[in-house]
Amino acid sequence: MTLPIIIKWGGQEYSVTTLSEDDTVLDLKQFLKTLTGVLPERQKLLGLKVKGKPAENDVKLGALKLRPNTKIMMMGTREESLEDVLGPPPDNDDVVNDFDIEDEVVEVENREENLLKISRRVKEYKVEILNPPREGKKLLVLDVDYTLFAATNMKWIEAKMKELGVSTNANYKITFMLDSAAMITVHTPRRGLIDIRPFMKAHLNRDKDKELLKLTQYLKEIAKLDDFLDLNHKYWERYLSKKQGQ
């Protein structure tokens, strides 16, 4: 069931009509980021409370007992320059690696609430095809969160891809790019809300970091396979070592 909300910020009103009672406060903040450019951690939504206390990010909107078209005041400042998004990420030792939550992902991937979120994203998110898929070629998906920048909207992604020479180089067959509006958050009993931020301190080690060179060798090896069903990417270094030892 959709839950229409009106957000007031910067002297304007923003209508949010794509979220449901099963979405979380963080889902709302992520959506507002695409509308306003204000990062979720900079947003303060006035009046969102549960049992008299400010609602945490993992609280479902349905638990807030909001009426349709409730008006909510948002406070927060948009990043003023591209450097705010593209610069080094803030220090944070609370890092969660994608592979470390593998067992929990198996548990949550088929939950009804998450399947509904994915279904809505598939239905509502518009993918712009930059280059058509090539027959016989495998699709490589690159997650650039906290490698090139933090999760952000398409404006900043396009700017960074142009700066790196990716979108202007005909040799890169980028099929499409997705921004934060295409993503969902999930909640697990052990870790709570997952908003993964790997490689948080890569900017401090870029002169010594050779990880992508090794990963390139792994990708070349598995490109020879017909399918990846028997692969566990968590152990890619073990797979590569075994192949190189043959």
Domains of the chain, residue spans:
5-78, 108-245
Residue type at 3? L
| Res. 8: pLDDT tops 90 | yes
| Res. 157: pLDDT tops 50 | yes
Cα–Cα distance, 18 to 51 (Å, whole number):
26
**CA 191 → CA 104, 199, 234, distances in Å?**
9, 18, 19
**CA 27 → CA 24, 51, 214, distances in Å?**
5, 21, 35
Q: Cβ distance 116 to 110 under 8 Å?
A: no
**Phi, psi angle pair for 81, to nearest 5°:** -145, 160
Residue found by looking up tokens 């994608």 in the block = 98
Q: What is the mean pLDDT of residues 21-31?
A: 90
Q: Model pTM?
A: 0.54
Cα–Cα distance, 97 to 89 (Å, whole number):
16
CATH of domain 5-78: 3.10.20.90
Q: Cβ distance 95 to 198 under 8 Å?
A: yes
Between 191 and 74, name the one with better pLDDT: 74
How high is the pLDDT of residue 95?
46
| Res. 70: pLDDT tops 90 | yes
Instruction: Of 173-177, 193-197, 239-243, give the lowest mean pLDDT range.
Output: 193-197
Cα–Cα distance, 236 to 145 (Å, whole number):
20
Tell me the CATH number of domain 108-245, given options 3.40.50.10470, 3.40.50.1000, 3.40.190.10, 3.40.50.280.
Answer: 3.40.50.1000
How high is the pLDDT of residue 174?
92
Q: What is the mean pLDDT of residues 152-160?
A: 80
User: Tell me: the pLDDT tens digits for 198-220?
Assistant: 455 555 666 777 777 888 899 99
